[in-house]
Structure 1
């Protein structure tokens, strides 16, 4: 019998949290599995705790997955993640963001993959945008001026089972399954990294995955372990695109840089993108070059960030 604990760290997004939990209850449940949900309410000031208590009150009269919750008063996702890790004693921790939903075969796919590959200590699968058909057309464009990375998280390493290495793209933190004993070897998530509230700062997941890979953890990508990410229309605003591009590149560079010396080519790219944005005559080009400018500024800031 395998223990699975679905971990959701949440901050003031009770409606999205309820949808995430509903998707868990709608999924097919494997027989050979002890399943529960653990929610960490991270510095929540909305009605999150009330909704969790209501769920617990009604749980015994419904066929819902058992739910536990804890409050982490220190604002910061890494604090919440580490709080959850300390609460779970055994089995696999299935991390899920509060703005995601799981596929109906998600739980069964996890159990089947663990049974087939018992030496695997970490798993991940695809994460797809939960498109509703009302997103702007430019999101799906693939031409020279396509926007990347997408403002809605997406992760896909293909249709085959493969090992995740440093040469692959690493998954988002809300799409990962980790056996409890991994944390004894790798340590916890860095509390110097990660978002506080919804400020878009990240890197705590990438930092952890790189440490795990370097220590030889068996990290497997399984294409049937699927989640979907909520499509927030606010993510298509230019201000959001610029902010998230800057923060993502700053965080990633601060983790992976070899030194704090800023490479000269970044200044050359910055100048090129700025001039291109100024002299472009179409909004599509201006948007593209402004986002590329924000990415380069994020990389420069990452090189300047004080080492941890």
Structure 2
């Protein structure tokens, strides 16, 4: 079994080192050929030096890198795909660490579900205990989307469909031949540098489902997302709500150019609800809903 770990990164040398170190520390399943490919996307920090140092110190897993000078995660992903001829591509974000059984779980899932070309697993916030209490609120005013990605659909495996929450690109395993049939990642979507855009992964998953490609959720494939406390600030919450809502609308409705009337009613309801009594939790919740609705409207009328 051939597994290529693909990490696209932009100016996160310190986090990238932690990510690759966690990968190199994983248990190795038998009869697996594992390698790591890093794509440095418009980087001007110590990314290449960091990768080279890790490559020099890795005796059993080859580590190599490519450079993509044009900013945009999709550009980096597509460059890598064009340079991986076969096998399975394991997508890991540069601010993740993997569970020590990651490769064992990937190999087991591939062998358990022969013929399935795409797998997804869990992404769990790597909480440190330093985060504010409101981030864990499960009540009426819990925030969403979470500023720290969290993808967890239970402990039972199942086939993904459009009725499920769509998996993010930070924990996908994709057989290389899938790209030959449904195409690469859309360069009209996805983050550029760290601008909080996204949905290149959602667009890809939707195209795969529309083409009848099986996608298996395997809960034992686990990664942990680094918790940056700067993401827990009000400005970041609003910006992410806007950007992610905008790009998911672009992914789901690429031809839509009109705004349904109910969007305006929803926006007005959320706006006025912000100023009703209920404390900071209520205000934060409805402010994020306002930002998300504005993002949806922007996504409906923006060219793709």
TM-score (norm: length of structure 2): 0.97
Counterpart of 2:213 in structure 1 is: 217
Give 1:113's aligned residue: 109
Whether 1:138 and 2:134 are equivalent positions in the alignment is yes
The separation in 2 between residues aligned to 1:235 and 1:265, in whole angstroms, is 31
The corresponding residue for 1:40 is 39
> Is the contact between residue 256 and residue 301 of structure 2 (CA under 8 Å) also seen in structure 1?
no
- SS of aligned partner of 2:106: helix
1:83-140: CA deviations, max 9, x gaps? Answer: 1101111100000000001101110011111111111100011110001111110111
Gaps of 5+ in 2: none
Cα distance in 2 for partners of 1:50, 1:280 equals 53
Counterpart in 2 of 1:269?
266
* Stretch of structure 1 that moved more, 262-271 or 237-246: 262-271
Whether the 8 Å CA contact 2:274–2:287 is kept in 1: the answer is yes
| SS of structure 1 residue aligned to 2:213 | coil
- Structure 1 partner of 2:237: 241
CA-atom RMSD in angstroms: 1.1
- 1:52: Cα distance to partner? 1.3
Partners of 2:250 and 2:52 in 1: CA distance: 39
How many residue pairs are counted as aligned between the two chains?
Answer: 303
Task: For residue 281 of structure 1, report the CA deviation from its aligned partner.
Answer: 5.3
- 2:238 is paired with a residue whose SS is helix
Structure 2 CA distance, aligned partners of 1:158 and 1:149?
18
**TM-score if structure 1 supplies the norm length?**
0.96
1:149 to 135, 145, 152: 145
Equivalent residue in structure 1 for 2:118, among 102, 119, 122: 122
Aligned to 2:281: 284
3-state SS of 1:133 partner: coil
Identify the range of structure 1 (276-285 vs 130-139) with the bigger mean alpha-carbon deviation.
276-285
